[in-house]
Each structure stands twice: as C-alpha cells, then as structure tokens.
A and B are shown apart, each in its own frame.
Chain A
Amino acid sequence: MNDDALCRSIMSAPAAVLKPDDTVRFALETMVRSRVPALPVVESDGRYLGMLPRSRLIALAMPRVLSHEDESHPLSHLLQVGFIQDTLVDLQGRLDAVANDPVSAHLDTEVPVLEAETPLMNAMLFLYRQRNILPVVENGRLLGIVSVWDVLARIGRVK
C-alpha cells in the first residue's frame, strides 16, 4: 500500500502531553492556552492511557446527570435544562471541586485509536464524525496524533 494512503503521512506531534497524575486544573489551563480540543495522556514510559477531551472538562462543570447520556434509555435524557438557573459561579464551583483530581480519573478511553499503518480514509471518517484529535499508537506507545487542523492544512495546501 502507498505510504501516502496511511495515517503515518498525516501524523504530527501533539501540542502537549499530559501525565496521569497531572491535575484537572493543569490540563484545563494547557488546553486553553494551546487551544487544542483534546490532549493525550501518557505514562512516563511512553505508554498511551487515553485522551482527555474538552467535553470531559465541560461535563465536570455540569450537573452530573446531564453528561451521562444513556443510549439504552433514550427517555432518561433531560430534554430541557433551561430550568436550572446555574450561573458562572456555580460552574466554577463544580470545577473547583475536582480541580485537583488527577486527569487519570477523568480519561476518555473510548476515543478510537489509530496505528501508523491505518488507512488515511479511516482517520478521515473519524474526523468527519466530530473527532478533532486522534491518537496514533503502536505497541501501546503514543507515536503522535492526527489532528483536524493538520489534515485540513494538508488537504487545502495551507502553508
């Protein structure tokens, strides 16, 4: 297979990498400063553990039941949440309560994982389905990421 048809060709280095015992607050600051939608979490020996996506941080600031979408019980989704009159202060309070948790407690391990030899089209389909950053992992170790910005830049020949 042509190497250009593989994820290897569009892989890049992540803007930052989190360690499992980094705090939620540190992760949030890093994500905001570097304007990335998700960060990979990696052991000191390079082993990939999972992703911390921005949706997890948003979820931590909401009443917990709102972020637990239950596919087997579609009825249990609250349809309207406008009745909850939470202010920014309330959201800050919820985040403060977990700010010192290690990021390992809030990982998203469901993020699809690519390999260097994964066809490019597989990555395209994930990006199309609202994933912005996908980890590239080989033998359990993080090799790099495929990010929507890298891919768009390459497709559109943006320098």
Chain B
Amino acid sequence: MHAAHSSVIFGLNPLWLATVVMIVTYGVIISERLNRSIIALLGAMLMIMFGLLTQEQAVAGIDFNTIGLLVGMMIIVSITRKCGVFEYLAIWSAKLVKANPAGILAMLAVVTAVASAFLDNVTTVLLVVPVTLVITEALKVNPYPFLFSQIFASNIGGTATLIGDPPNILIGGQVGLTFNDFVINLAPVIVVVLIVHVISMHLIWGRTMTAAAEVRARVMEFDEKKAITDPRLLKLSAFVLALVMVAFVLARQLGLDSGTIGIGGAALLLMLDNVGRSAEHQSENVLKVYNEVEWITIFFFVGLFIVIAGVEHAGLLQLLADNLLAATGGDFRTTGISILWASAVLSAIVDNIPFVATMIPLIKSMAPAFGGPDGLMPLWWCLSLGACLGGNGTLIGASANLTVAGIAERNGIPFRFMTYTKIAFPLMLIHVAISHVYLMWRFF
C-alpha cells in the first residue's frame, strides 16, 4: 500500500488528494450536472492517473459479486416482465377488493411492496404505475394518492431482502451477508412498517375515496387473464425465479455467492427462452434483453467502487471510522443509532448509493472495536433501514420516486417536490422511528 503512495503525482499527500477527488466526484453526483455514471468513471480514472491506485488495485476494488447480482437480476426481470404477470397481479388484486378505491389503494401498496422485495424498486414502479393509471382512470379517482403510496411501498418492500434495493445488494455483496440474513433480520420490521404505511394512506386519503357502482363495475370487467402475453414464458420465468429463490435461501449450504446465483439464474432463463430458436432470432432476442440492463447503474457502481478503493487505500475511511468511534465514545448502541438516523436523513436528500458504498468499508474498519466482523451485524441493519427507508423522505431521495414523478407528469398529474415532501418526510421519520425501536429491542 505504501509503495503506491510514493508514486502519487507531485509528491502530494495521498490522503488529501484522494479526499479531494472523492469530494469533487460526490459533489458533481449530487449536483446532477453530469450523468452519474460518467462522473463516477472520471473520478475512478483520476484515482489511477494521480497514482493513488494502480490499475490492478482499482480493478480489485470493483466488487464483482455485487455487479453480478445486479446484472443477473436485471436480466431475469427484463425477461420475466414480458409475460405480463405484473399487470395480472395488479388487476387481480383490484378485483379482489371489489374495485373499491380505498381497498385498491391498500392492495396495490401490498402488491408493490411484495414485488419490490424481489425486483429492483424502479422496475417495480415502472410495471405497476401504468396499470394503476388505467384503473384510476376507469374509477374516475385522483391517481396521486395511489402513486404516492406506491413510491413508499416500493422503497419499503425493497428493504426486506438482499435483492430488493441497491443499498442492500451493496451491503450483502460486499459484506457477504446472505439472503436469509436479510429476511430474518429486516423482514419483521418491514412488515410492521408496511402495515403502518397502509393504515396512514387510508387515514390520509383512502377513507374519503368514493367511486360510483357503475365505474367500479367497469374495473370488475377487466380481464386479468388477457394481460398474460406468453403463458409459456410465464411458466419458464416462474420456474427460474423459484429456483433462484431456493438457491438464495440455501446459499450457505450450497456454498454459492449471490453474484453466482444471479448470473446463473439469468443464464438459465436466457437458455430456456432461446433454445430451439434460429441463430438470428436468438441474437436479436438476447440483444434486446442485454439492452434493457441498466448500464448507467452498472457503470456508476464500477466507478464508485474504484473511487472508494482510492480513499480507502489513502487511509481516509479508517480516519473517518476512528473519528466516528471517538464521537460516539465507542458505544455500540450510539454508533448504530447514529448510523440509522444519519443514513435516513442523508438518503432523503442525496443519492443513497454513494453514501452506502462509502459507509460499508468505514463500518468494516470498526470491526476491531466491536468484537470482529460478526459483532458488526446490527450495524448493517441500521445502515440498510436508514438508507432504504430514508429514500422516501423527498422526491429526490430514491430513483423510484423520480421515476414515478416523471410518469405522472407526462400523464398530466402534477408531482411537486414540496407537496410530496410535506407528507412524505414526516411519514419517513415515523418509519425510521419504528425501525429505531425494533433495532433497540432486537439488537442493542
């Protein structure tokens, strides 16, 4: 490590230089003046060009377990969604409550949360929001409460599992936590938060919603079976998804990392979807799937991993960790609760991915103070709950929020930063407070 330092350009202090590169990178990410994947890659390149990292060290800093899990799940989802199962679920759930608008408000929140536990949040809202708009139009009710509720549900549901939200994928991938670790430690509180969310949506909007019998009859006429485009693909996707879930649950026994399971599932589903087709049809089909992988996110992660490797090598993260420990007096409970609330408030204002990616090595370096890596477990749950739930606080807190707002605006439904934040921020604080109580009770 110190050999690398000696080659830093102009003989500058590596700690300062790395810190400046990181601050400039994060500053531009927050300002949104440049696409986040571009600035992350530029920051990564500067770390290498300034001699803070060799190329070899930079590549070693990229966590391919996380990248593999992300890409694998994106491929599985891009194939699965083609069969129309998500539209089916949304319509089915609306009919289950006899097309009563307050009931639909609650049902769609639950459907969104469950889907989001297994899919990326943005994907979930992209799939659920269009059907929601068709339903609310038919019912002649204001779509805003439904969209607001789905933003929350997607961020809440995503917190429950390893694969539900990018911060969890990052934490799981880099710390080596399993799918079961997340479900066992986070799902119980997420169920409570979801129930509280559904109740608050009902109190704020649902209880005053009405729809005439004849418009409800129109929604009851929706034929969810017609939403299924490809029954064969539905069976294949369901089979592979089930297999992937089993592999996640048995990951420890099978000795498989999550990246292998994600990419393995993707390869299997690609094979099942393409075997027997002509070579030309296959390349066309596969290219379409690969194009739907969110490369902006992937390149953003790659660049970010290298920037963080740079500040880690320079010793900044150890320094920050030591300072944080000094500030909390080395008290485990204070450290955990500070991480929870700081992540929540920060994630509401800025992109939570760079924050979480920086916090992971920082928390890891606290291991000696808290009895080794196993002793750190509760801190990961503080980080995950804070970062994921905090994203609900403002319209820019998570990418799902902006996605929903974008679709809403294009459909003539105004989605304003302040009107959203006025209701969302207090609700987010309540959810984090529930998590606070849960963490105290269970871990501290």
Contacts and interface: CB of A to CB of B under 8 A. Distances in A.
Interface size class of A (residues with CB under 8 A): 20 to 34
A75 B407 contact: no
Interface string B394-417: 000000000100110011100000
Given A70-B410, A82-B227, A83-B91, A77 B221 contact: no
A64 B81 CA distance: 22
A68 interface: yes
Contact of B133 (A63, A74, A81): A63
B203 interface: no
A68 B411 contact: yes
Interface residues of B, number: 33
Chain A interface helix/strand/loop/mixed: loop
Contacts of B91: 83
B241 to A, nearest CB: 17
Given A64-B412, A65-B137, A83-B226, A76 B407 contact: yes
A65 B133 contact: yes
B407 A80 contact: no
Contacts of B225: 83
A78 B134 contact: yes
A80 B226 contact: yes
Given A73-B403, A84-B222, A79 B410 contact: no
Given A64-B412, A70-B410, A76 B227 contact: no
A85 B138 CA distance: 11
Contacts of A77: 130
Given A64-B412, A75-B126, A85 B223 contact: yes
B421 interface: no
Contacts of B218: 85, 90
B123 interface: yes
A64 B411 contact: yes
A85 B222 CA distance: 6
B126 A80 contact: no
Interface in B210-266: 218, 221-229
Given A73-B126, A79-B84, A82-B227, A65 B292 contact: no
B162 interface: no
B82 interface: yes
30 contacts: A64-B133, A64-B411, A64-B412, A65-B130, A65-B133, A65-B134, A65-B407, A65-B411, A68-B411, A70-B406, A70-B407, A70-B410, A72-B406, A73-B403, A73-B406, A74-B292, A75-B78, A75-B126, A78-B131, A79-B81, A80-B228, A81-B134, A82-B227, A83-B87, A83-B91, A83-B223, A83-B226, A84-B138, A85-B221, A90-B218
Given A65-B133, A68-B411, A83-B225, 19 more contacts: A63-B133, A63-B134, A64-B133, A64-B137, A68-B407, A73-B403, A75-B292, A76-B127, A77-B130, A78-B87, A79-B81, A80-B228, A81-B134, A82-B223, A82-B227, A83-B223, A83-B226, A85-B218, A90-B218
What 4 pairs across the A-B complex have the smallest Cβ distances?
Answer: A82-B226, A65-B133, A75-B126, A83-B226
